């Protein structure tokens, strides 16, 4: 049976990349099959998070799920740490995954930077926890941005090795990443070679879902471009990554192809294109932002959704962990 699962880290302010690459996709999929969407607070603490902020960020992400159209009656929305099974299964998977597999993960290399000896062990083993998040629910489809492709491949490797090592063929399904649409990798507004990220120290690098119209317009106006004008259809943008990125954002926000957007603005200056893009972004985000603000003003509703979601998630996850313990040979009363 099909089962859809995804999550977003409670590691900072949600941005346009999260919205286009993840949130919008979840909402589009939730009617297709049972859907589980969690707030990844355990992943978030792989880099330092202020405890009071972590709680607020967890609620903010839950608010974004609801504001972008996830229906808590259908979709199970929960905080990762509230379902103990995630940590239980992650330990078993830590013993299934190989160091050589994790050594290849590019996200660890990017996030740990020059001083990897100072990175947390959790940051290194993060993709193993992610495999547990997915396989606990025997998810078959995982809607994510392009940056998560490698982690999904690792999840498949872990599932395959577990099934094989313990003589349990097919126990864990091999999940498919769902990486679709024109906005699977939105880049920083300041640097066309870096992904737009919550953890980027520059607030100017991203459009936050909580930015107001003026902030959005100012950030787009100041976004990095080049000395040229808007390209013609068919022109290579390989050496104009910033321009390519802005066109991709425009296309995703207006549900058009990049070629349609290029045709519309071909030859024009950025002085014409940028305000049009800002208007479009404000128009698309304003209702989501307003609903997030409303929900966050009094977290009662959010907390109720998260608590109910945690209970429903545990109903699925706990029996899987019980089975895994048996398969592994852990003593059980
Ligand atoms: P962090 O910097 O803390 O890793 P993040 O911005 O990368 O934060 P995540 O919580 O790691 O966000 O990812 C949540 C989802 O958003 C994932 O599916 C991820 O692939 C997607 N995503 C993140 N950044 C982008 C982006 N720039 N473009 C498209 N999708 C993105
Ligand atoms: Mg990330």
Which ligand lies nearest to the CA atom of residue 47 in the structure? 1
Please list the active-site residues: 111, 195, 198
Secondary structure class of 68 (helix, strand, coil): coil
193 labelled binding-site residue: no
Is 184 a member of any domain?
Answer: no
Angle, to 10 degrees, between the axis of helix 121-135 and the axis of helix 149-165?
70
Is 194 a member of any domain?
Answer: no
Which ligand lies nearest to the CA atom of residue 48 in the structure? 1
Is 137 a member of any domain?
Answer: yes
* Whether residue 288 is found in the same domain as residue 306: no
Question: 89-110 burial, b for 16+ CB within 10 Å, e for fewer?
Answer: bbebbeebbeeebbeebeebee
CA 197 / ligand 1 centre spacing (Å)? 6
Res 148: pLDDT? 97
If one residue of 38, 60, 70, 147 were mutated to test the ligand 1 pocket, choosing by the most ligand atoms within 8 A of its CB, it would be 147
The torsion angle over the Cα atoms of residues 192, 141, 301 and 48, rounded to 10 degrees, is -50
* Whether residue 133 is found in the same domain as residue 227: no
Is 43 a member of any domain?
Answer: yes
Is residue 183 within 8 A of residue 20, CB to CB? The reply is yes
Which ligand lies nearest to the CA atom of residue 249 in the structure? 1
Beta bridge partners of 187: 195
* Whether residue 275 is found in the same domain as residue 311: no
* Whether residue 39 is found in the same domain as residue 166: yes
Is residue 139 within 8 A of residue 7, CB to CB? The reply is no
C-beta of 189 in contact with ligand 1 (< 6 A): no
214 labelled binding-site residue: no
* Whether residue 214 is found in the same domain as residue 91: no
The whole-angstrom separation of Cα 241 and Cα 235 is 13
Q: Where residue 253 sits, what CATH number does that domain have?
A: 1.10.240.10
The whole-angstrom separation of Cα 228 and Cα 247 is 14
Six token digits for residue 296: 């966050």
Range of the domain at 131: 4-178+299-328
* Whether residue 148 is found in the same domain as residue 87: yes
Closest residue CA from atom 6 of ligand 1: 197
Closest atom of ligand 1 to CA, residue 7:
14
Is 153 a member of any domain?
Answer: yes
94 labelled binding-site residue: no
The structural domain count of the chain equals 2
Res 332: pLDDT? 87
The whole-angstrom separation of Cα 130 and Cα 155 is 7
The whole-angstrom separation of Cα 102 and Cα 70 is 33
Is 196 a member of any domain?
Answer: no
C-beta of 17 in contact with ligand 1 (< 6 A): yes
* Whether residue 149 is found in the same domain as residue 216: no
C-beta of 18 in contact with ligand 1 (< 6 A): yes
Res 333: pLDDT? 86
Is 187 a member of any domain?
Answer: no
> Which residues contact residue 133 at a Cβ distance below 8 angstroms, ignoring those fewer than 6 apart?
5, 7, 38, 40, 80, 86
Identify the CA nearest to 10 among candidates 37, 49, 65, 36. 49
pLDDT by residue (tens digit) across 95-134? 999 999 999 999 999 999 899 999 999 999 999 999 999 9
pLDDT by residue (tens digit) across 293-328? 999 999 999 999 999 999 999 999 999 999 999 999
Neighbour tally for 115: CB within 10 Å: 7
Please tell me whether the overall predicted TM-score, pTM, comes out greater than 0.80 for this model: yes
Is residue 226 within 8 A of residue 279, CB to CB? The reply is no
Q: Where residue 43 sits, what CATH number does that domain have?
A: 3.40.50.620
Mean pLDDT by 10 residues, the chain (333 residues): 97 94 93 97 97 97 97 98 98 98 97 94 98 98 97 98 97 96 93 94 95 95 96 96 97 94 97 97 95 96 98 98 98 89
* Whether residue 53 is found in the same domain as residue 79: yes
* Whether residue 137 is found in the same domain as residue 248: no
Is 190 a member of any domain?
Answer: no
The whole-angstrom separation of Cα 95 and Cα 287 is 45
* Whether residue 141 is found in the same domain as residue 20: yes
CA 327 / ligand 1 centre spacing (Å)? 34
C-beta of 143 in contact with ligand 1 (< 6 A): no
Instruction: Note whether ipTM > 0.90 here.
Output: yes
Cβ neighbourhood burial of 297 (10 Å; 0-12, 13-18, 19+): exposed
68 labelled binding-site residue: no
* Whether residue 39 is found in the same domain as residue 172: yes
C-beta of 22 in contact with ligand 1 (< 6 A): yes
* Whether residue 27 is found in the same domain as residue 95: yes
* Strand-strand pairing, 76-79 and 35-40: parallel
């Amino acid at each position: 049976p099909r089962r859809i699962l995804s999550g977003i880290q409670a590691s900072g302010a949600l941005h346009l990349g999260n919205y286009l690459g993840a949130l919008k996709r979840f909402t589009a999929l939730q009617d297709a099959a049972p859907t589980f969407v969690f707030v990844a607070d355990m992943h978030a603490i792989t880099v330092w998070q202020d405890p009071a902020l972590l709680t607020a960020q967890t609620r903010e992400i839950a608010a974004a799920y609801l504001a972008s159209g996830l229906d808590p009656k259908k979709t199970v929305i929960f905080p990762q740490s509230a379902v103990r099974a995630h940590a239980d299964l992650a330990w078993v998977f830590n013993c299934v995954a190989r160091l050589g597999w994790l050594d290849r993960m590019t996200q660890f290399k990017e996030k740990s930077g020059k001083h990897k000896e100072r990175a947390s062990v959790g940051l290194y083993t993060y993709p193993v926890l992610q495999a547990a998040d997915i396989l606990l629910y025997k998810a078959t489809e995982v809607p994510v941005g392009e940056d998560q492709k490698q982690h999904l491949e690792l999840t498949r490797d872990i599932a395959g090795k577990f099934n094989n090592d313990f003589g349990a063929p097919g126990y864990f399904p091999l999940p498919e990443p769902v990486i679709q649409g024109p906005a699977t990798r939105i880049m920083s507004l300041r640097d066309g070679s870096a992904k737009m990220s919550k953890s980027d120290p520059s607030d100017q690098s991203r459009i936050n879902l909580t930015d107001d119209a003026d902030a959005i317009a100012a950030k787009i106006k100041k976004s990095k471009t080049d000395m040229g004008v808007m390209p013609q259809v068919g022109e290579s943008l390989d050496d104009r990554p910033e321009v390519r990125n802005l066109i991709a954002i425009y296309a995703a926000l207006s549900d058009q192809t990049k070629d349609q957007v290029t045709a519309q603005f071909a030859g024009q200056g950025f002085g014409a294109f940028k305000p049009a893009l800002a208007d479009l972004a404000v128009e698309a985000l304003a209702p989501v932002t307003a609903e997030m603000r409303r929900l966050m003003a009094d977290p009662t509703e959010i907390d109720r959704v998260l608590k109910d979601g945690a209970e429903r998630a545990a109903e699925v996850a706990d029996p899987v962990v019980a089975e895994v313990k048996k398969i592994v040979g852990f003593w059980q009363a």
